[in-house]
């Protein structure tokens, strides 16, 4: 009996340690994501509120992108693929620096919203996005339902959104833009819950190995995933409900 109690106490202690580590890991994920959001917001506001800076990338009247604007628009997508390919060769510090550089480039790519939409509309959309994101992420973290099967369908949906968005750049169809925005909201809402649960389960699966380098880089990749979900939900909501200048 004493031996059984000792084993049981050891199991309980390990479970408590994993649970404490998980909370610290998730806090780091959300903290890294939040810093990235601040970087994005700062760059977007600095460029978008300055006619001189914005004119480097877009026509100040029509807000149509020039060559540099097109580069800024597609640079985040290229950086995401590059990040995924290079993550194993980067140190944790290098991966974090890359993430913040990506956040700055993302701010540059969406800076035009400060010229296209009212400040109040941007602020209101950000608050709504924050509330929705928090609820979705909390559900993904606490639900007992296994939603790992959503991943393949959601990724296919993202690929479809990217293709449709690129095609609509040349077509300029409001109907396609509306459909993309509605579908995009649903897809990235699902990804927010899915990614949160994936980050949690990945940590639990690897916690016993105590690989700090993996945990640090995993936290940064998790922050990137949630950051992208937040940005996309925000942009789709702004496109649908934002008040233009």
More confident residue, 11 or 97: 97
Q: What is d(CA 190, CA 15) in angstroms, rounded to the nearest whole number?
A: 29
Q: How many CA atoms lie within 13 A of 128 on its CB side?
A: 16
Is the distance from CB of 117 to CB of 241 less than 8 angstroms? no
DSSP string, 197-209: HHHHHHHHHHGGG
Q: How far is CA 49 from CA 43, 195, 242, in A?
A: 10, 33, 17
Token code pair at residue 8: 């049981």
Least confident of 27-31, 83-87, 237-241: 83-87
Taking residues 15-19, what's their average pLDDT? 66
When pLDDT is cut at 50, 70 and 90, the band that residue 92 belongs to is confident
Token code pair at residue 146: 């296994």
pTM: 0.89
């Amino acid at each position: 009996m004493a031996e059984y109690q000792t084993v049981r106490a050891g199991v309980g202690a390990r479970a408590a340690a994993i649970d404490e580590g998980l909370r610290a890991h998730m806090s780091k994920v959300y903290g890294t994501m939040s810093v990235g959001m601040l970087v994005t917001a700062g760059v977007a506001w600095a460029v978008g509120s300055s006619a001189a800076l914005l004119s480097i990338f877009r026509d100040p009247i029509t807000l149509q992108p020039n060559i540099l604007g097109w580069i800024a628009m597609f640079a985040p997508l290229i950086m995401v693929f590059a990040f995924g390919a290079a993550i194993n060769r980067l140190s944790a510090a290098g991966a974090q620096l890359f993430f913040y550089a990506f956040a700055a480039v993302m701010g540059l790519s969406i800076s035009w919203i400060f010229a296209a939409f009212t400040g109040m509309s941007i602020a209101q959309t950000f608050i709504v996005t924050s509330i929705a994101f928090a609820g979705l992420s909390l559900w993904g973290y606490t639900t007992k339902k296994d939603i790992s099967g959503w991943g393949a369908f959601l990724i296919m949906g993202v690929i479809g959104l990217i293709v449709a968005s690129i095609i609509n750049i040349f077509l300029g169809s409001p109907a396609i833009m509306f459909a993309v925005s509605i579908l995009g909201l649903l897809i990235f809402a699902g990804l927010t819950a899915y990614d949160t649960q994936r980050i949690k389960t990945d940590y639990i699966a690897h916690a016993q190995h105590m690989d700090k380098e993996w945990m640090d880089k995993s936290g940064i990749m998790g922050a990137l995933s949630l950051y992208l979900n937040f940005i996309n939900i925000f942009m789709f909501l702004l496109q649908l409900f934002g008040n233009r200048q």
